[in-house]
């Protein structure tokens, strides 16, 4: 019965998630929400990439803007998440837009071309935390670069390098909003150890999965989907009972 109620609750939670909202993580604290991209992250997970592709593929989520040559009083902003800004660049040259994050954290700038991106805070050029290609079937986004942006009152200068056709689509999403908790599956039975986990928006470490509740992660024959064998003093199906 415990597993039945747990599965029902999980299904109800899944149905309640909004299309533009990340999965809620009940164990996520404030300090985790505001943390920078974790060390050892080599690529973002499919959750944020696929979400960004949804907006890139939806014409209703596109906003056209014309960049300027350098930062000027008319430089446009690309502040809104869940949108693709179609940025027109100066012919054969770098174009500038502005970005002010609504929340501090790591921000991923997905782009429809492999052109360069440089983010500046005043005279200071920021170093990217991560850059890699994007490979999502049917998606026009091809590359992403992540920057740790700590100020919500700063208009960061975003310089976009030359691009074919002088046009590039940009989708900005906050990485922390797409964190998922993964659980260690040491015995490879497709059930993770609830006590050993990582919370990340990056590709998880090898041997970590999203399904938990394994009560003995050292024995692949013991997990919530196993058949209970009565009379052996072992809770094979992890439901807290030795008789069912």
Main-chain phi, psi angles of 205, to 5 degrees: -60, 155
**Can you give the pLDDT at residue 37?**
81
Main-chain phi, psi angles of 4, to 5 degrees: -60, -50
Q: Could you give the number of structural domains in the chain?
A: 1
| Cα–Cα nearest to 117, from 145, 155, 142 | 145
- Assess if residue 161 is contained within a domain: yes
Q: Which residues pair with 117 in a beta bridge?
A: 160
- Assess if residue 210 is contained within a domain: no
- Assess if residue 5 is contained within a domain: no
DSSP three-state, residue 62: strand
Contacts of 21 (CB under 8 A, 6+ apart): none
Distances (CA, A) of 59 to 63, 65, 85, 187, 241: 9, 15, 11, 45, 54
Grouped pLDDT means (10 residues each) for the chain, 244 residues: 43 41 40 62 94 98 98 98 98 98 97 98 97 95 98 98 99 96 96 95 95 96 95 94 92
**pTM listed for this prediction:** 0.80
**Can you give the pLDDT at residue 36?**
74
**Can you give the pLDDT at residue 35?**
52
**Can you give the pLDDT at residue 40?**
84
| Lookup: tokens for 189 | 């039975």
Q: Which domain holds residue 113?
A: 34-178
Positive or negative, the Cα torsion across 53, 55, 59, 63? negative
Positive or negative, the Cα torsion across 192, 197, 199, 205? negative
CATH of the domain at 116: 2.60.120
**Can you give the pLDDT at residue 24?**
37
- Assess if residue 74 is contained within a domain: yes
Contacts of 165 (CB under 8 A, 6+ apart): none
- Assess if residue 25 is contained within a domain: no
- Assess if residue 49 is contained within a domain: yes
- Assess if residue 160 is contained within a domain: yes
- Assess if residue 142 is contained within a domain: yes
**Can you give the pLDDT at residue 227?**
94
Q: In this structure, are residues 67 and 160 in contact, taking their beta carbons and an 8 Å threshold?
A: yes
């Amino acid at each position: 019965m415990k597993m039945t109620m747990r599965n029902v609750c999980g299904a109800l939670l899944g149905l309640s998630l909004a299309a533009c909202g990340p999965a809620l993580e009940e164990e996520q604290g404030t300090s985790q929400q505001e943390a920078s991209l974790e060390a050892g992250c080599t690529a973002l997970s499919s959750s944020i990439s696929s979400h960004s592709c949804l907006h890139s593929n939806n014409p209703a989520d596109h906003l056209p803007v014309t960049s300027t040559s350098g930062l000027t009083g008319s430089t446009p902003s690309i502040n809104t998440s869940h949108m693709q800004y179609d940025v027109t660049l100066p012919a054969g040259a770098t174009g500038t837009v502005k970005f002010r994050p609504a929340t501090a954290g790591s921000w991923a700038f997905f782009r429809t071309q492999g052109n360069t991106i440089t983010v500046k805070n005043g005279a200071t050029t920021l170093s990217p935390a991560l850059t890699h290609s994007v490979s999502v079937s049917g998606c026009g986004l091809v590359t992403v670069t992540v920057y740790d942006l700590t100020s919500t009152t700063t208009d960061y200068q975003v310089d976009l390098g030359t691009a074919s056709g002088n046009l590039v689509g940009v989708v900005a999403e906050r990485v922390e909003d797409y964190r998922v908790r993964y659980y260690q599956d040491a015995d490879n039975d497709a059930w993770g150890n609830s006590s050993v986990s990582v919370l990340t928006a990056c590709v998880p470490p090898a041997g970590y999965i999203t399904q938990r509740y394994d009560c003995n992660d050292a024995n692949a024959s013991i997990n919530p989907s196993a058949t209970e064998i009565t009379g052996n003093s072992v809770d094979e199906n992890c439901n807290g009972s030795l008789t069912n």
